[in-house]
Amino acid sequence: MKRYKFPLSSVLRVRKIEEDQAITALAEAERRRVAAEELAARRAEAHRGSGSTHGVTAAHEFLAARERRERSAAAVLASQEEVAQARMATLARRAALASAAAAVGALEHLDEQARAEHALEALREETIEIDDLVTGRHRRGHR
């Protein structure tokens, strides 16, 4: 009997490469999400620590302090938006990984089924061959 060869082995190999790429993309998305969350936390802490405008005597000092506070608040909002986008990207990468893993799993299942069918066919052929040998010997012995 011929050696077993999975007919979709090249497709399976490509799907495994795609799964590896999805894993790498998810890891990168996670790194970006963590970095965005850390930056947002630092900006929020800096904004909370920027203090109030109490005790400022001159109008230009008051306006400068208020401007710094507004820029700080805008930076906090921008970093929160970056965190939300990073979380969405991470979710998308997780979904892509799940899809790639499902494709690999389906092909591996097909490979297992085909391998089992091949083994069964090899066993059938072996049984037929043994039956032929036994039947041939039996006929020769009784003549």
Can you tell me whether residue 54 is helix, strand or coil?
Answer: coil
**Stretches in the chain below the pLDDT threshold 70:** 1, 51-56, 137-143
pLDDT of residue 63: 86
pLDDT of residue 65: 84
pLDDT of residue 140: 63
Q: What is the pTM of this model?
A: 0.73
Can you tell me whether residue 1 is helix, strand or coil?
Answer: coil
Angle 9-49/59-141 helices, nearest 10 degrees? 160
pLDDT of residue 133: 85
Structural domain spans, the chain: 9-113
pLDDT of residue 135: 84
Token couple for 87: 């979380």
CB count in 10 Å sphere of residue 97: 21
pLDDT in tens, 11-23: 999 999 999 999 9
